[in-house]
Structure 1
Amino acid sequence: MPRLYLDAPLSSGLEFDLPEACARHVQVLRLQPGDALTLFNGQGGEYAASVLAMGKRHVSVQVGAFDASERESPLQLTLVQALSATERMDYTVQKATELGVQTIQIVQSAYCGYKLAAERAEKRLQHWQAVAESAAEQCGRTRVPRILAPIKLEHWLAQAPAAELKLLLSPIDGQRLNALPAQAASVQMLVGPEGGFSLEEEASAKAAGFQALLLGPRIFRTETVAPVVAALLQARYGDF
């Protein structure tokens, strides 16, 4: 059954025209009046709905019963991801969403090979949020991760929120997964770019409470790290 995210209030009995992008999706699927779909707005739960009318440029729907089901992990998981190239960043956001990450903070570090001009930052942020919304539609999440605007790593570290466990992913040294605490309700994972973090950045992260974590003898690409670690943390502290 098609599942659509809407950034709008929803309530049972409501009738309205879908936004253009959602309407286009319904038309591509060739749904007809009376066909069922699911709507959610990221506030928790989801609604049954049905198509009322199809036009060339609009699709009308009626909202049905509310389902309070939640599919969110009990683990408060934040990904702090160094900026990477477009396709890699999209992959990271998509997989982090599927794996239950609740907040994604983009940071710019010394060795980021991809630079984002200030005038393009807002457009890219909107794009990443749309990637997260699409992934949430597909995987059944009832809430969509927040994608926070890019900020320099040193600035973020100076104001980083609290978390029970802060992990700095290291390709060369650090403790192994089995050395982590048995329990943690909130975790921040800090993932570097292809070139890794500079020695100064690693020192600053450790001074801010991050501890190095080594996954194993092989070095992962930056877009691989977040999904791997998110899955391991969900297995240890979350709902896997």
Structure 2
Amino acid sequence: MRIPRIYQPVALTAGQHVALDEDGANHVGRVLRMQPEQQLILFNGEDDQYLATITEAGKRTVTVRIDERQQHSSESPLDLHLGQVISRGDKMEFTIQKAVELGVASITPLWSERCGVKLTGDRLDKKIRQWQKIAIAACEQCGRNVVPQVRPVMKLDDWLREPFDGLKLNLHPRAQYSINTLPQPVTALRLLIGPEGGLSGEEIATAAEQAFTDILLGPRVLRTETAALTAITALQVRFGDLG
């Protein structure tokens, strides 16, 4: 049986006893219904993970003993930052979840001219927290110990102008170049994925002014969530750790 992995954003040391936070205790005690003497793997955002044994288990509180520190890293050598214009419904959540599984290092949700989503104030703050929890859950599932940050939402123009020392790519259905034509090696990369209605001409021009290279995935026009995950996969095959 696969040992469940639980994220705990605290310092972890072999030999210490840890009371899991509310989210962790709820998942272990209520969802998984685990019992004392069963094992967990804890991670806190660093490269290593920690094998732990449950000492007390209830529906509201779970305490574990950390048995040993284990060296374990499944991080891609490609530092990939995804700039994703916010998509409707659960498409954004799906994109974040799968992007984390595929190895992205960070994600910035973006507002663009043709973005069809309207979120402000508390609703926006709640949504960002939800997206970060989705990233954490994806790490628990896929074996990553380093949790990608879901950054605060930015205007596309501001994100395009952020200083960045690496390759910058914009998916464009009429681009001349494909991922396979990009030069090697690449260790740091920014990938821009536009909204369902596409980027405006002005936004495409601004991206070009900021040294973003237009790239093409293929002859078919993909939905925004399909485009993001296809591009990330192709980039990880070429520059990262997918074979």
The normalised TM-score by structure 2 is 0.95
Alignment of 1:73-222 (within 5 A): 73-158=76-161, 160-222=162-224
Counterpart of 1:125, as a letter, is I
Alignment of 1:31-46 (within 5 A): 31-46=34-49
Counterpart of 2:119, as a letter, is L
Classify the secondary structure of the residue corresponding to 1:96: helix
Match of 1:54 in 2: 57
Aligned partners of 2:171 and 2:37: how far apart in 1?
50
Superposition deviation, residue 53 in structure 1: 1.0
Counterpart of 1:53, as a letter, is E
- Cα displacement string for residues 151-203 of structure 1 (whole angstroms, at most 9, x for unaligned residues): 11112222x23132111001233311221112111111000000010000000
- Contact 2:114 2:197 (8 Å CA) reproduced: yes
Aligned partners of 1:161 and 1:93: how far apart in 2?
23
Classify the secondary structure of the residue corresponding to 1:171: coil
Aligned partners of 2:88 and 2:174: how far apart in 1?
23
| Of 147-156 and 115-124, the range deviating more from structure 2 | 115-124
| Of 217-226 and 20-29, the range deviating more from structure 2 | 20-29
Count of residue correspondences: 239
- From 225, 229, 242, the equivalent of 1:223 is 225
Aligned partners of 1:91 and 1:14: how far apart in 2?
36
Classify the secondary structure of the residue corresponding to 2:220: coil
Counterpart of 1:179, as a letter, is T
Counterpart of 2:227, as a letter, is V
Classify the secondary structure of the residue corresponding to 1:104: strand
- Contact 2:180 2:238 (8 Å CA) reproduced: no
Aligned partners of 2:22 and 2:166: how far apart in 1?
42
Identity %: 43
Superposition deviation, residue 30 in structure 1: 2.0
Aligned partners of 2:18 and 2:49: how far apart in 1?
16
| RMSD of aligned Cα (Å) | 1.1
Superposition deviation, residue 68 in structure 1: 1.6
Aligned partners of 1:100 and 1:34: how far apart in 2?
32
Superposition deviation, residue 93 in structure 1: 0.4
- Contact 1:121 1:149 (8 Å CA) reproduced: no
- Cα displacement string for residues 97-137 of structure 1 (whole angstroms, at most 9, x for unaligned residues): 00100010111000001122133222111110000000000
Gaps of 5+ in 1: none
Gaps of 5+ in 2: none
